[in-house]
Amino acid sequence: MKKHTVLSSQAQTDTIEHLTDVLIIGSGAAGLSLALKLADHCNVIILSKSDRNEGSTRYAQGGIAAVFDEQDSIEAHIADTLVAGAGLCNEEAVRFTTESAKSALEWLISSGVPFDTEKDDKGKTRFHLTREGGHSHRRILHAADATGEALQITLNDAVAEHPNIHIFECYNAIDLICSKSRPTYSNGAYVWNLKRSHVEVIRSKFVALASGGASKVYQYTSNPDVSSGDGVAMAWRAGCRVANMEFNQFHPTCLYHPQAKNFLISEALRGEGAYLCHKDGTKFMHKFDERADLAPRDIVARAIDFEMKRLGADCMYLNISHKPSDFIRKHFPNIYRKCRSLGIDITREPIPVVPAAHYSCGGVMTDFNAKTDLENVYAIGEVAYTGLHGANRMASNSLLECVVFAHAAAKHILTALPNSDTPGAVAPWDESQVVNADEEVIIQHNWHELRLFMWDYVGIVRTDKRLERALRRIQLLSQEIQEYYAHFRVSHNLLELRNLVTVAELIVKCAMQRKESRGLHFNLDYPDLLPEAKPTVIKHELSKPTVQPGSLATGISDE
């Protein structure tokens, strides 16, 4: 059995402490990749809010983009990404990612990820490459239509076999612990043990935020329940800058069915010839973009939203039934089975679809080593703003970013590790002045209110008036939540709600600063592009340390 250092394990009322070299908050592609690149050289704890499989990685269907075809080029991949990002990508970040793509994929291949293969004209085996919206070439490696699941399983198996990696399942990170003597240094994190309903401390030399996105801030989302913006909120409270939070990607084609929760219909269908249409079969994407059904996600999502509102329709339709049935079942077995279980035969009829909040393009600002504004804190994956995505994520660049920046972070951490200090002493968690919550219904009410008005006011199409209304409501909710947090013991739902309201405010404030429509951010009051594309950066001026609920203690380390 794997062992890790437990500094104290006393009575239920005392704080349990753990010590490790690197604490990774999140167990998706980014966190697992980082752990595997580090573990031969140091001890690692991975924090998983649910079980280790439950994250956005598992549900990623399409694949991972990299140049493997001789007819393709890195320059073409760069150009496509820049176009999809609506002029807001950091070109250096795009080049860094695309140039690192093939080696990242080769590492995944050597790790055992079962990407699909095919025979070429000479009978030689090669990887099957598909094409998705925004890509000019076939460059997507995939494992049927469940690439994320294949990636998650492969990396999880490797992590489980490594003696230096310890996974804490059902742990929710509360806050980074800041140092009194070094305000830009973190000694680790306070974490909530869901099974014991108790706060513990993890002290670490380095912390990596790999906690995923924040799409749960919206009423309708394709993301799993764990996507509540925890990493962004924690980094913000600790003093990190965030950027481009106004760019929320709405996946254009989420399955519309009362029994289907959060099920995506991959863009790879459109890459293989599927087209969007009305209920009567009339195509409409050619009216919105010359690329028609292969237009980027933001254009497709707005087109579907426009047609639904224009016609008063509950959904639009995606049709691939004109392709051979064997082809459909072979390339999209997961989607075929899911739809068939709901009475929809995609080989014979179109699929009802609606847009849903999918991924964020903004997040915690990092450099190309994935390092944040804090000395020893890194951010990788959807939690981070690297500059790669600009105003819109291009399909299958997301998992790529996770692996590329995980490798970059690992390299930087291992360089710094020999000179790193053991983290200083940490103030124990103090619950002496709080009581158990008396009305959980307050949390549930605030939760539903927040997600509903974010969907209505800060969704696919925005206006200044809607944003102002949203901000007023967020500020009222934030005050209520902070009062609740100060007087009652923490709970899983309270921690998520606290993070979601923080992220919602960041989204709205970023959106209010952008006086144009670009990529995923569309404001009816500013329908045109500004001549110069600039990221929206928000800096947090810390006036005082984060205070523990109901406590006079500051919750920062003693040294």
**Inter-residue contact 188 to 210 (CB < 8 Å):** no
Nearest to 190 by CA among 397, 376, 337, 47: 47
| Closest-CA residue to 211 (of 54, 95, 86) | 54
Residues 6+ apart with CB under 8 A from 284: 276, 277, 278, 303, 307, 316
Residue 2 burial (C-beta neighbours within 10 Å; 0-12, 13-18, 19+): exposed
CB atoms within 10 A of CB 258: 6
Task: Please measure the distance between the N-terminal and C-terminal CA atoms of the chain and give it in whole angstroms.
Answer: 34
Q: Which residues contact 414 (CB under 8 A, 6 or more apart)?
A: 38, 41, 42
Nearest to 397 by CA among 82, 159, 52, 34: 82
**CA nearest 134: which of 184, 89, 102, 186?**
89
The closest of 349, 341, 144, 357 to 257, measured between CA atoms, is 341
Give CA–CA dist 228/231, Å, rounded.
Answer: 9
Length of the chain: 559
Using CB atoms within 10 A of its CB, is residue 488 exposed (0-12), middle (13-18) or buried (19+)?
Answer: buried
Dihedrals phi, psi of 35, to nearest 5 degrees: -60, -45
Cα separation, 203 vs 21, in Å, equals 8
Distance of alpha carbon 368 from alpha carbon 386, whole angstroms: 7
- What span, in angstroms and rounded, lies between the C-alpha atoms of 127 and 69? 9
The backbone torsions φ and ψ at residue 251, rounded to the nearest 5 degrees and listed phi first, read: -65, 130
466 is catalytic: no
Longest Cα separation, the chain: 74
Query: Kind of pairing, strands 165-169 and 140-141?
Result: unpaired
Side chain identity at residue 500, one-letter code: L
Is the distance from CB of 218 to CB of 197 less than 8 angstroms? Answer: no
Return the bridge partners of 177, or none: 188
Among residues 270, 297, 462, 518, the one annotated as catalytic is 297
Catalytically active residues are 297
